[in-house]
Structure 1
Amino acid sequence: MALNTLPDIGGNAFSTLTPEKEKQIGDVLIRQTRARLPMVYDPLLDEYLNALGNRLVARSNDVKFPFKFYWVNNQEINAFASLGGNIVSHTGTLAVSESESEFASVIAHEVAHVTQRHIARFVEAQNQRSPLTIASLLGSIILATINPEAGMAAMAASQGAAQQSAINFTRSNEQEADRIGMTILAEAGFDPNAVPIFFSRLSQQSRFVNQQLAFLQTHPLSQARVSDTRLRAQQFPKRFVPDSQDFTLTKSRILARYHYSTKDALIIFERMLTEPGGNTRANHYGLAIAKLDNKNYEEARILIEDLLKQDPYNLYYLDVYTDILIAEKKYEQAKEFLQQAYLLRPNNQVVTLNYANVAVKSANYGLAVHLLRNLLYYKDDNILAYDLLSEAYKAQEDFAKYYETRSDLFYQLANYPKAIDDLNEALNSLKPDARLENRRIEAKKRQLQAEFERLQRM
């Protein structure tokens, strides 16, 4: 685990947010956010969103730090950017996007908010009126994604600026994010016309519901703004941008796992396959997930094996096929299947996590530990990896490592008291002659305690 070094910012914590400070504070905020929102820890969705997001970032100017992208399990259409290049999308945003360019337009808009430092400048301005705390910022972020209207009001009130709404309510910042986001979108190879199309559909939808859509509460959408994006899109060459297969499979996965109920997903995908143009791999994939989740294992396996014949290296199919084999308790077959995939993609989190999960299920704990420690070496914020690794250590009755790994997991969720408690348990579980390990864990505990104390002062 790589502990963050918090900035020593004292009483004027947010008066001048350098990119370095913004990144450090943003990392704390996103860890706290992950602990308090229903985040989605799905390696396939994670890989898709971060690949798409970084494709957009690569076409952006004024990028000051690496970006990270996260999912919240929420059917509302919304996305938000936080400090330090952390961008969060609701699963509902992709579920209603009718093209990949539409979904990419939402992410490009949030990227533009970050690169133009709208959030950082807003925080600095608010802090000049009334000193900010990490807690007030976090509370506003949480409320904003659960109840956008209340969240924005809370942010304004807690920061002593009731007359001014949060960053996304300022017209000039929204217009700038629209303009720069559309340029990013086009440069990344997507269709700029997706912006006015998506906006127009949202605007139409909001007319027929009693409560305004979450996206429109945090990103106010006037007719002038829709018209402006339409005129701006006409300045770009017309192009047809087909959806990638990863987008269509990701959408099916979100619809089956996070948007519809288990029973409804089965009915919906069966119906979509009978509609004109609906006999697609993505709909077969969605149906396979629905059948798996409804415990129709044999039917699910037939569907996914057929898809694997057409595309044997597809990670989406690999993941569902592994889940089916685990559900059927065919652990050895799953291990053989994943061993080959791991040889081809040793650093891929989808393959590694599936392989480690099968290793744990089949009581091959040494293999699981080896796989997961390698994964965490280059992806040290992976919640699923920490969870599986702690399970493997517990099964091995290696309680010192079990508690230390649980401490790492709680650190990733910004639960410092629990992380420190588990390090104490790790120390108590060490053998008397394990002096080096004792000193290492003691040093780790002191670092955590110092970081927690400094965070409490922010």
Structure 2
Amino acid sequence: MRKILTFLGTALLAFAAGAQTNVGDDLPDIGSPAQTMMTLEDEYQIGRMVVRGLRDQDQVLDDPEVAEYLQSLGSRLASEAHDGVQRFTFFAVKDRAINAFALPGGFIGMNAGLVLETKNESELAGVMAHEIAHVTQRHIARSIAAQSRTSLVSTAAMLAAILLGAAAGGGDGAMAGVAAAQSLAIQQQISFTRANETEADRVGLGILARSGFDPEGMPAFFETMSRHAGSSELNIPEMLRTHPVTSTRIAETKQRAEQIEITPNPDSVSYALSRERLRVLSTPAGKDPLEYYTAVIHSEPDASSAEIYGQGLAMMVSGRADKAIGIFQRLRDADPTVMQYHTALGQAQLKAGKGKESLATLEKARELFPRNVAVTVRYAESLMQTGDSKRAHEILLDLFNVVPPTPEQARLTALAANAAGDVADSYFYMSEYHIMSGDLPLSINQLQLALAVPKITSVQRARFQARLEEVQQAMPKRGARRASTGQSRLQDMN
């Protein structure tokens, strides 16, 4: 439900926070409103630029277990969207505010606070299906194409001022920003995107039902959002909220959902465990996540396995990993089919200084869950901390030859290569990290360093040189569109 205005505000917030990006240079040259719609390559570049800004602000939650769940759930929904062209990337945001957003290029962010607020998996899937619909219907691209390049940048700058003023608690600054924004006809743009909400609701309901979820999860969560309207800690004006929910919209979505006959699938174990993982990992600085679980388990003698799992995670991040080991062992022994119990146990053992036990736990997990991303990443981390970086590098390369890595996983591969003494490969994978993060100049710098390493093999030289040429072709040029061939290849590789 992210409107284009909020996307632009987010992008400029990243720049205001110190991201090394120039708006005028990095935004694609889309010409005048009458000339053209944005290409998919343009959308991808803009979306990646915003995600890079979020990463620069440390807002993206790079946890392999959570990332795997969100990507799996999102891909399941996207497969029912009947769009064979659009690629989707789903990621978690640390923010406890109830929000989700779709960016150009199929990037969909889910705030930790939103996931925690859902009561079941169908509610979460309903939000994701709605965001997927925004992307497949190209609502954001239409909004951008309706503006000239100058309008795009000036509107973004105005929204950045509004959001920065609101974040600082300055009511006067926020109100001044609103007045200026209205002079730029922002109300008209918001009305346009609100009209898209109805279409996204309708298309999203179909996606939700075809994926085996309860379509009533969508209006149910709309009601939750409606109850929270106006309770945000940020004083952002209602008309600039990313989720404008009205009683009419809720009623219409309910009516459509009731007309769909389906027997929904039960919630997955991964949904419940991911909620607790997000609860712990998004705990505000200065607060002990264990306090929540102590209260819950004290008041609920029959606490769920997910809550017990969360308690173990809270112990682990609070410096009590030795006590968490017993919790995760009991959970794993009770149900060894749950991947998250194995990885949590391996993590706890490693944090408690039991490296050999951690390796044994994760080696067994690799047998049960071959080429599972979370298991492989945790095993690689354990190998690196116990002094076998060469083996860590090998298993990460084996995995990522099959499964595309996230930026943080590419960075982990670079660290493993460096620790193993393979400096050239370390530069290469840092280049991949920067490509995925949207920083092509830094990527080029890393590839040039890789090529300058003495005694690289002929195979390495050919690979590094070919990648360098691809990145150079994909670099933006002033007054011209990006070279679509080079950019397409970069998309395929990421």
> Cα distance, 1:394 vs. partner?
2.1
Partner of 2:36 in structure 1?
16
Partner of 2:299 in structure 1?
275
Which of 349, 353, 356 is residue 332 of structure 1 equivalent to?
356
Partner of 2:73 in structure 1?
52
Partner of 1:192 in structure 2?
215
Assess if the C-alpha contact under 8 Å between 2:212 and 2:262 holds in 1: no
* Cα distance between partner residues in 2 of 1:65 and 1:362: 41
* Cα distance between partner residues in 1 of 2:272 and 2:281: 14
Partner of 1:89 in structure 2?
110
Q: Which moves more between the two structures, 437-446 or 327-336?
A: 437-446
Assess if the C-alpha contact under 8 Å between 1:95 and 1:259 holds in 2: no
Partner of 1:110 in structure 2?
131
| In the alignment, structure 1 residue 449 sits paired with structure 2 residue 436 | no
Assess if the C-alpha contact under 8 Å between 2:166 and 2:235 holds in 1: no
- Measured against aligned partners, the alpha-carbon deviations of 1:126-158 in whole angstroms (never above 9, x if no partner) come to 24x85757x9889979998997998xx89x969
| Distance change in 2, residues 1:140/1:16 (3 Å) | farther
Q: Secondary structure at the match of 2:119?
A: coil
Q: What's the TM-score once normalised by structure 2's chain length?
A: 0.78
In structure 1, the gaps of 5 or more residues are 1-8
Assess if the C-alpha contact under 8 Å between 1:57 and 1:63 holds in 2: no
Once the two structures are superposed, the pairs formed by residues 37-186 of structure 1 within 5 Å of their partners are: 37=57, 38-127=59-148, 162-166=186-190, 170-186=193-209
| Distance change in 2, residues 1:316/1:392 (3 Å) | same
Q: Which moves more between the two structures, 189-198 or 306-315?
A: 189-198
| Distance change in 2, residues 1:30/1:210 (3 Å) | closer
Q: Secondary structure at the match of 1:351?
A: helix
Assess if the C-alpha contact under 8 Å between 1:174 and 1:219 holds in 2: no
> Cα distance, 1:44 vs. partner?
0.9
| Distance change in 2, residues 1:131/1:307 (3 Å) | same
* Cα distance between partner residues in 2 of 1:269 and 1:456: 56
* Cα distance between partner residues in 2 of 1:271 and 1:454: 57
| Distance change in 2, residues 1:353/1:146 (3 Å) | farther
Q: Which moves more between the two structures, 219-228 or 73-82?
A: 219-228
- Measured against aligned partners, the alpha-carbon deviations of 1:339-378 in whole angstroms (never above 9, x if no partner) come to 2222333321111101111111111122111111122223
* Cα distance between partner residues in 2 of 1:16 and 1:49: 33
- Measured against aligned partners, the alpha-carbon deviations of 1:265-287 in whole angstroms (never above 9, x if no partner) come to 21211221233475110010000
Assess if the C-alpha contact under 8 Å between 2:315 and 2:324 holds in 1: yes
| Distance change in 2, residues 1:441/1:145 (3 Å) | farther
Assess if the C-alpha contact under 8 Å between 1:62 and 1:116 holds in 2: no
Q: Secondary structure at the match of 1:80?
A: strand
Assess if the C-alpha contact under 8 Å between 2:30 and 2:36 holds in 1: no
Partner of 2:22 in structure 1?
none
Q: Secondary structure at the match of 1:81?
A: strand
Which of 49, 52, 56 is residue 32 of structure 1 equivalent to?
52
Partner of 1:418 in structure 2?
442
| Distance change in 2, residues 1:445/1:214 (3 Å) | farther
Number of aligned residue pairs: 445
Partner of 1:3 in structure 2?
none
| Distance change in 2, residues 1:131/1:452 (3 Å) | farther
> Cα distance, 1:171 vs. partner?
2.8
> Cα distance, 1:259 vs. partner?
3.5
> Cα distance, 1:170 vs. partner?
2.7
Amino acid at match of 1:43: P
Q: Secondary structure at the match of 1:369?
A: helix
- Measured against aligned partners, the alpha-carbon deviations of 1:388-415 in whole angstroms (never above 9, x if no partner) come to 2222222233322222222222222122
Q: Secondary structure at the match of 1:191?
A: coil
Q: Secondary structure at the match of 2:475?
A: helix
Query: Percent identity of the aligned residues?
Result: 29
| In the alignment, structure 1 residue 390 sits paired with structure 2 residue 423 | no
In structure 2, the gaps of 5 or more residues are 1-27, 168-172, 482-494
Which of 428, 446, 453 is residue 429 of structure 1 equivalent to?
453
- Measured against aligned partners, the alpha-carbon deviations of 1:51-71 in whole angstroms (never above 9, x if no partner) come to 211222222234532322111
Assess if the C-alpha contact under 8 Å between 2:115 and 2:275 holds in 1: yes
> Cα distance, 1:222 vs. partner?
1.9
Assess if the C-alpha contact under 8 Å between 2:339 and 2:369 holds in 1: no
| Distance change in 2, residues 1:173/1:27 (3 Å) | closer
Q: What's the TM-score once normalised by structure 1's chain length?
A: 0.84
Q: Which moves more between the two structures, 321-330 or 200-209?
A: 200-209
Amino acid at match of 2:196: N
Assess if the C-alpha contact under 8 Å between 2:65 and 2:340 holds in 1: yes
* Cα distance between partner residues in 1 of 2:301 and 2:208: 28
* Cα distance between partner residues in 2 of 1:241 and 1:356: 34
* Cα distance between partner residues in 1 of 2:43 and 2:286: 39
| Distance change in 2, residues 1:234/1:402 (3 Å) | closer
* Cα distance between partner residues in 1 of 2:162 and 2:392: 38
Assess if the C-alpha contact under 8 Å between 2:359 and 2:379 holds in 1: yes
* Cα distance between partner residues in 2 of 1:147 and 1:95: 24
